[in-house]
């Protein structure tokens, strides 16, 4: 049935379509079309029956149908008003063998960050986890985190917020006052499972503080609402996010350049806590699949593949 739903949404996106024509185009009965239209209405999409056929009149309610309507990316959308963690939900879908699903939630009650840290997820956010099955070596997985960060930065910019990427998994709004040089707008948690060194599934979990008040977030966080001074259209934002991510993953060579363009971390003095110890120096580049190249104070070039990165003030 999800295929019919998506085909129906795509048909409706072209303008009003009479029920019989929809049934023909979708290869299902008129009763089946009617049932699907009702289901979309229940999901919050405004659909009117006019003399010319069914017409979408209202997409203002954030939800699965609204996000899928007019979406130019092949993700199936599963929407939750409230959920524990979208990454956890995607894990279940991965076990069912699914692919290219975006689980999107308005609120998370048990959101996760990296290294057993938590992610605060009040109502009004965009918490989105993608289930991907790229046919690539496990070692390439960090590039999907970079792609997600680029997609968030671009969608934020389209919404009028100048967002920058902090390696490896944060998107910030820069300022001069805060400790880390900016306020955190988004965090990304990528998880994976491999089979013989290839990716079996990859989950890219993206948490964006969209229409939430900074008082409801940890210290050092900001939101699109706070930066814009008015709510963002989460449907458009989520669509742009998914579309950009989809474009980038289909052209992995473009990801690093796009990342460099939006990075706050390049040219910065940083301290990175890596599993192998602390690295301090100036960042000079990022290399595939997402390693940070740091020139240390004694002139060494260190290639850092994982860790917590802190932006330091210039010496
Ligand atoms: C991250 O971890 O930044 C990854 C966050 C990923 C969240 C998404 S939401 C959709 C999907 N489902 C999930 O359950 N998770 C993913 P990390 O770099 O470890 O940063 C975590 C730290 O950020 C916390 O310890 C807090 O200090 C801070 N933090 C928590 N919630 C925040 C928020 N809403 N905004 C900004 N900072 C926050």
Superfamily of domain 64-262: Bira Bifunctional Protein; Domain 2 (3.30.930.10)
Alpha-carbon distances, residue 244 vs 15, 114, 151, 168, 299 (angstroms): 25, 24, 5, 18, 37
The residue whose CA has the least distance to atom 25 of ligand 1 is 117
Find the Cα–Cα–Cα–Cα dihedral 111, 113, 119, 123, rounded to 10°. Answer: -50
Instruction: Specify the pLDDT at position 4.
Output: 85
Is 189's C-beta closer than 6 angstroms to any atom of ligand 1? yes
Identify which of 37, 289, 101, 265 has the alpha carbon closest to the alpha carbon of residue 167.
Answer: 265
Phi-psi region of 134 (alpha: psi -120 to 50; beta: other; left: phi over 0): beta
Predicted model pTM: 0.96
Is 190's C-beta closer than 6 angstroms to any atom of ligand 1? no
How many Cβ atoms sit within 10 Å of the Cβ of residue 95? 10
Is 113's C-beta closer than 6 angstroms to any atom of ligand 1? yes
pLDDT mean values, one per 10 residues, the chain (315 residues)? 82 91 93 94 95 95 96 96 98 98 98 96 98 97 97 98 96 84 95 96 98 97 98 98 98 95 94 94 96 95 94 79
Tokens of 8: 């129906």
For 25-75, list the strands marked E by DSSP.
46-50, 53-58
Report the topology of domain 269-311: SH3 type barrels. (2.30.30)
The residue whose CA has the least distance to atom 19 of ligand 1 is 114
Q: Among the atoms of ligand 1, which is closest to the Cα of residue 115? A: 19
Sheet holding 277-287, edge to edge: 301-304, 291-296, 277-287, 269-274, 308-312
Q: Among the atoms of ligand 1, which is closest to the Cα of residue 221? A: 36
Angle at CA of residue 190, ends 212 and 158, nearest 5° = 45
Instruction: Specify the pLDDT at position 93.
Output: 98
Domain coordinates in residue numbering, the chain: 3-58, 64-262, 269-311
Q: Among the atoms of ligand 1, which is closest to the Cα of residue 112? A: 14
Q: Tokens 């390693």 map to which residue?
A: 291
What CATH class has 3-58? mainly alpha
Is 221's C-beta closer than 6 angstroms to any atom of ligand 1? yes
């Amino acid at each position: 049935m999800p295929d019919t739903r998506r085909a129906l949404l795509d048909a409706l996106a072209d303008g009003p379509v009479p029920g019989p024509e929809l049934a023909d185009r979708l290869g299902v009965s008129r009763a089946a079309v009617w049932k699907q239209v009702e289901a979309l209405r229940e999901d919050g999409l405004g659909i009117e029956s006019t003399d010319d056929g069914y017409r979408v009149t209202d997409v203002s309610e954030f939800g699965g149908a609204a996000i899928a309507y007019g979406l130019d990316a092949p993700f199936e959308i599963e929407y939750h008003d409230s959920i524990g963690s979208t990454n956890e939900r995607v894990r279940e879908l991965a076990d069912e063998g699914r692919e290219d699903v975006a689980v999107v939630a308005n609120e998370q009650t048990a959101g996760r960050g990296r290294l057993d840290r938590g992610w605060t997820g009040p109502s009004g956010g965009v918490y989105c986890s993608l289930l991907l099955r790229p046919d690539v070596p496990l070692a390439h997985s960090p590039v999907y985190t970079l792609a997600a960060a680029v997609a968030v930065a671009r969608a934020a910019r389209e919404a009028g917020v100048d967002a920058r990427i902090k390696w490896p998994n944060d998107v910030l709004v820069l300022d001069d006052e805060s400790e880390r040089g900016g306020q955190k707008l988004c965090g990304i948690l990528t998880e994976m499972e491999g089979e013989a060194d290839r990716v079996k599934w990859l989950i890219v979990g993206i948490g964006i503080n969209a229409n939430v008040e900074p008082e409801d977030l940890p210290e050092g966080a900001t939101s699109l609402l706070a930066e814009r001074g008015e709510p963002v259209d989460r449907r458009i934002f989520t669509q742009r996010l998914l579309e950009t991510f989809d474009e980038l993953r289909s052209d992995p060579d473009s990801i690093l350049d796009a990342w460099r363009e939006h990075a706050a971390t390049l040219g910065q003095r940083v301290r990175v806590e890596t599993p192998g110890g602390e690295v301090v120096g100036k960042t000079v580049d990022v290399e595939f699949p997402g390693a940070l190249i740091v020139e240390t104070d004694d002139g060494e070039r260190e290639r850092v593949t994982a860790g917590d990165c802190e932006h330091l003030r210039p010496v």
